[in-house]
Amino acid sequence: MTLTTSIIQTRLAAASRNERDNVAQQIIASATPAELLSLDAEAVLRLYEALRMLPPLVYSDRDRAAMKRLAAESQFKAPKTPEFGVDLVRTARAGHPQIQRELTADLVKGIYAAEKKRLSWLEQMGVDGDTIGRGQLGQPAYSDVGKPANFKAELERCITHAYVTRIINAQASPAREASLFDSSYSFRVPSQYAWAVTYPEVEDFVVAAYLGLRIESASKPRRSFKDTARFAVALYHGMRIMVVDAQKAVNNEVDWAPVETQLRSQGHDDECDYVNEVVK
């Protein structure tokens, strides 16, 4: 019989408190690598909690060995970033050719490099304004990404992965991450970006998702994929009004080159440089 969350819950519930960690050990020891890899967040957390017996914190060498295997063979491992976040967005928009072509890990890294280069001395000292983090996004962008019509499901998946990975690898206080799971293991996404951005892989996802939304907004018939990326990055950088005005001035809503020329003629060199630094 394939190992499932329901089976794990039933077996742990049938054991006494003092025997629950032994049952969790047995479940993990008898599971195949494929079964451990397929376990969802609830299943992994139930096993982990049984092994740790919280409260109080009491565990044996056998508990440690079981936790080590659970961490090593479950799906909850530290992901490669920013690829993990980019892949979540690309998978969610599998039918959008501009996102498939232009939304890459390098684009996210380009945003980080361009933003770092332009931090004020106060921001360099850690004093943030309305925008925060490596991607210098704010609460409105995070809220936009988290809308059901946008990337709510993917945001939940990303944050779940980040939290559970840290819990089972003992990389952070379990109480901090576990506070977002209720007694039935239902998951709650934090409402504040300032909380979520403390996890690098979550910030990578939010930046990638917000870029994805901007790419969707910038996609137009006859506009090249590379120009789509340029306009998207301009929108990401808060250049919407100046871009619209430049488009009207040159009577061209499709191509970036004449818009850039117009922007530079108005003294917006740094804004244009930002776009060219990010989009290669």
Query: What pLDDT score does 129 carry?
Result: 74
pLDDT tens string for the chain (280 positions)? Answer: 789 999 999 999 999 988 999 999 999 999 999 999 999 999 998 998 888 765 555 668 898 899 999 999 999 999 999 999 999 999 999 999 999 999 999 999 999 999 999 887 666 655 567 899 999 999 999 999 999 999 999 999 998 898 889 888 876 555 555 566 666 676 678 888 998 888 899 999 999 999 999 999 999 999 999 999 999 999 999 999 999 999 999 999 999 999 999 999 999 999 999 999 999 9
**Is 27 domain-assigned?**
yes
What percent of the residues of the chain are helix, what percent strand, and what percent coil, each to the nearest 5?
Answer: 65, 0, 35
Question: Is 223 within the bounds of a domain?
Answer: no
The pLDDT of residue 169 is 83
CA 235 to chain centre: 20
Instruction: Kindly state whether residue 79 falls inside one of the protein's structural domains.
Output: no
CA distance 86 to 214: 14
The crossing angle, in degrees rounded to 10, of helices 225-236 and 105-117 is: 40
Are the C-beta atoms of residues 100 and 89 closer than 8 Å to each other? Answer: no
Q: What is the DSSP string of 61-130?
A: HHHHHHHHHHHHHSS--PPPTTHHHHHHHHHHTTT-HHHHHH--HHHHHHHHHHHHHT--HHHHTT---S
Q: How many helices (H) and strands (E) does the chain have?
A: 18, 0
State how many domains the chain has: 1
- Asked if residue 52 is part of any domain, the answer here is yes
Q: Quick check: helix, strand or coil at residue 207?
A: helix
Quote the DSSP letter at residue 185. Answer: -
Maximum Cα interatomic distance, the chain, rounded to a whole number of Å: 76
Q: What's the pLDDT score for residue 58?
A: 62
Domain housing 26 = 5-73
